[in-house]
């Protein structure tokens, strides 16, 4: 096991950084070392069937990926009070004790993708900032599973057989996420449970929300660069009008490889939106006001990426004014459509 007290040398995701940093890579491989650590002197031995015993209490980063661990027991992490990042990717974990993570009061990064989990682990550490639990067998997101996780800003849960009905009402209530990805699932639309994500301030009157929060949103976007929603590789046929109002500070929207027949409504109102992936859908028409607002001063930043290739849209019929709020004509990707 490649662990050293105080100075841990582990091969891990580039997204795992020092405290305060957040890796928002959509599907970065766990292949390179942390930039602030020395090269990995040894790979963890393959074939572990359980979490090793007698780990140093000073351990801050623990890499147990690519093993055969099937279960996380109550005392597996006992005494690891300083653990900051835990990597359990590509094991065979199907069972987690409700108190398995109880000792991990400082855990911020939990990577438990590519396992056999059928549910999101209960009692996640309140200190958690980033959760990557994609490529499991999760079908349901309960109402209170993320309750109290006030520091969480990144959840990657794509590659699970999640349907719209699998999200209980209020499943994401209270979260202030910078990044959420539910790609490669079985969604047919934007789940209603997402409606409270990303609202950094609230107004009693919904019609006044944009006005009362605008100065806060602009400040947060400048300082944090937040706002990425990944819903690609699903079966989404339609985005209802108003479905995107819950992310007024969105910067990137990934809806590629779905079954959309039109550009989602509401994009012009997203003043900070810069990147929209709509490639490989069924979009056959693009309206002149589908992306850009009418008038000046509404949109705070220009688009620098709009992908529409792989759609049956006759690009020669699209009016040039449609992309009047893009930074450059090269930001638009049409390509050729092939049946």
Q: Please check whether the two domains, 1-148 and 198-339, share a CATH topology.
A: yes
> Could you tell me which residues are beta bridge partners of residue 156?
132, 181
User: Strand locations in 80-200, DSSP E?
Assistant: 85-87, 95-96, 109-111, 130-132, 154-156, 179-181
On whether the CB atoms of residues 272 and 301 are closer than 8 A, the answer is yes
For 1-148, CATH number? 3.80.10.10
C-alpha torsion 298→193→255→280, nearest 10: -140
Residue 17 has pLDDT above 80, yes or no: no
Tokens 């292949």 -> residue: 31
Distance CA 53, CA 100 (A): 14
**Range of lowest pLDDT (84-93, 129-138, 187-196, 257-266):** 187-196
Q: Give the H/E segment covering residue 222.
A: helix 209-224
pLDDT for the residue 5: 34
pLDDT band at 47 (very low <50, low <70, confident <90, very high): confident
- Assign domain 198-339 to its CATH architecture: Alpha-Beta Horseshoe (3.80)
Distance CA 265, CA 41 (A): 52
pLDDT for the residue 286: 96
pTM of the model: 0.76
Distance CA 323, CA 332 (A): 8
pLDDT for the residue 54: 87
Domain boundaries, the chain: 1-148, 198-339
């Amino acid at each position: 096991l490649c662990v050293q007290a105080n100075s841990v040398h582990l091969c891990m995701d580039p997204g795992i950084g020092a405290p305060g940093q957040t890796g928002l890579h959509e599907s970065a491989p766990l292949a390179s070392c942390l930039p602030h650590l020395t090269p990995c002197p040894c790979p963890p031995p393959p074939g572990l069937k359980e979490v090793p015993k007698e780990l140093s209490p000073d351990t801050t980063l623990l890499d147990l990926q690519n093993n055969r661990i099937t279960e996380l027991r109550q005392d597996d992490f006992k005494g690891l009070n300083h653990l900051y990042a835990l990597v359990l990717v590509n094991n065979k974990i199907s069972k987690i004790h409700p108190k398995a993570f109880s000792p991990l009061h400082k855990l911020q990064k939990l990577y438990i993708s590519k396992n056999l989990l059928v549910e999101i682990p209960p009692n996640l550490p309140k200190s958690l900032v980033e959760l990557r639990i994609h490529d499991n067998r999760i079908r349901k997101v309960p109402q209170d599973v993320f309750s109290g996780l006030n520091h969480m800003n990144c959840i990657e849960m794509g590659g699970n057989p999640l349907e719209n009905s699998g999200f209980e009402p209020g499943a994401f209530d209270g979260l202030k996420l910078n990044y959420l990805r539910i790609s490669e699932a079985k969604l047919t639309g934007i789940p209603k449970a997402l409606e409270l994500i990303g609202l950094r301030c609230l107004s009693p009157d919904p019609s006044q929300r944009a006005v009362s929060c605008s100065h806060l949103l602009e400040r947060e976007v400048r300082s944090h660069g937040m706002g990425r929603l990944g819903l690609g590789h699903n079966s989404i046929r339609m985005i209802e009008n108003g479905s995107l109002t819950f992310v007024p500070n969105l910067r990137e929207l990934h809806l590629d490889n779905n079954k959309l027949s039109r550009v989602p409504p509401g994009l012009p109102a997203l003043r900070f939106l810069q990147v929209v992936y709509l490639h490989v859908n069924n979009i056959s028409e693009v309206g002149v006001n589908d992306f850009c607002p009418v008038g000046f001063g509404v949109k705070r930043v220009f688009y620098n990426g709009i992908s529409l290739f792989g759609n049956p849209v006759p690009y020669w019929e699209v009016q040039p004014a449609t992309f009047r709020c893009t930074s450059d004509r090269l930001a638009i990707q049409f390509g050729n459509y092939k049946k």
